[in-house]
Structure formats: C-alpha cells, structure tokens
Amino acid sequence: MSDYNFAYIGMGAAFLMIALGAMAFGVWGIYTIATGGTGEVESTGADIEAFECSDEAFSGDPEFPGDPDHETDREILSATEVASVNESVDDGTYVFEITMEGTLLDAWATYEDGAELPVTVTDDRATVETQSDDPYRLWIDNAADGITRTELTICPDSF
C-alpha cells in the first residue's frame, strides 16, 4: 500500500511543478503585454532616436497637412517601420532622408507653427531639405502590413 502512496505523491508533485511553471509563464506573458514587449526589439538599422525631438524642444501640435487619396489602417508615433535614415548638413542646408519598410506612398512635413516644408518622395525614400534648424513634424504613409501613417518629430540641430 505504501508503494501506491509514493506514486500518488510523485504524480502530485509532477502536476504541481507543471502548474507552477504554467502559472509563471502566464505571469511573464501578462507582464510582457502590460509593458509593451520584452525589450528585445530587432533593429531595422535606423537610428532615428538620435534625431527625434523631446517634448520640450517641440512644443507645437500642427495639424496634419496632407490630403491623401488613401485611408490609413493605423497611425503610429514611433519609428517601427523605418528602414534607414541618412542626415547631412551642407552649406547650412539640413538634409534628412528616410527609407521606410514596404512601399512609401507619400510624406508631409510642417514646422511647429504649421508652415509646410517641401518633401521629395522618390521610390521608398522621403527627403526633407531645410535651411532652418527649427524642429519639424514629419508624417509618412507607407504600405507594408496595411497602410500606416508614421508621425515623427525631427530636430535638425542634432544632425
């Protein structure tokens, strides 16, 4: 009879270990969802954080200036769909080029006061050239997983 008791105790311990493991995995999953990820984001090669403005540097909230022929599926305020970034300063002209994942549809830029900047779109690259080091807001529509509008605030004085 005691052999059966040890078998039941062993099975009970095994079930308890499995249940504790499942509970720990569930707690980790909830934590991951609540905090927005594991922190191990695959880099797309774009180091855009170096050029983005802080809230103190860009206090304006300009309206979106575009009138696109397409509807967006989602709008994001981060550089998750940016493939690459190139910046330069040449004779006082700040040049900012950004390449997106998927197909770049259109791009727009404005200063804090709403004054528009010209944006050149060629292939999957948007280029903003400005003589001013004032920060500006850049909106980019691209088609990768649906149509996404990315909103970035760029500080040319950090080039």
Residue 16 has pLDDT above 80, yes or no: yes
**What percent of the chain shows pLDDT beyond 70?**
88
**Same domain, yes or no, for 36 and 74?**
no
**Same domain, yes or no, for 131 and 109?**
yes
**Same domain, yes or no, for 8 and 74?**
no
| 8-state DSSP, 36 | T
Residue that terminates a domain, selected from 24, 40, 56: 40
Summary mean pLDDT of the chain: 83
What was the pLDDT predicted at 45?
A: 39
Cα-based torsion angle of the residue sequence 138, 95, 157, 106 in order, rounded to the nearest 10 degrees: 0
Length of the chain: 159
- What Å distances lie between residue 35 and 38, 42, 134, 151, CA to CA? 8, 17, 33, 22
Specify the DSSP element, H or E, that contains 91: none
Q: Which CATH number characterizes residue 67's domain?
A: 2.60.40.3780
- The pLDDT tens digits for 30-82 are 888 777 665 544 444 356 776 777 767 777 778 888 888 788 888 877 777 88
Q: Which domain holds residue 32?
A: 1-40
Domain count across the chain: 2
User: What is the pLDDT confidence band of residue 1, given thresholds at 50, 70 and 90?
Assistant: low
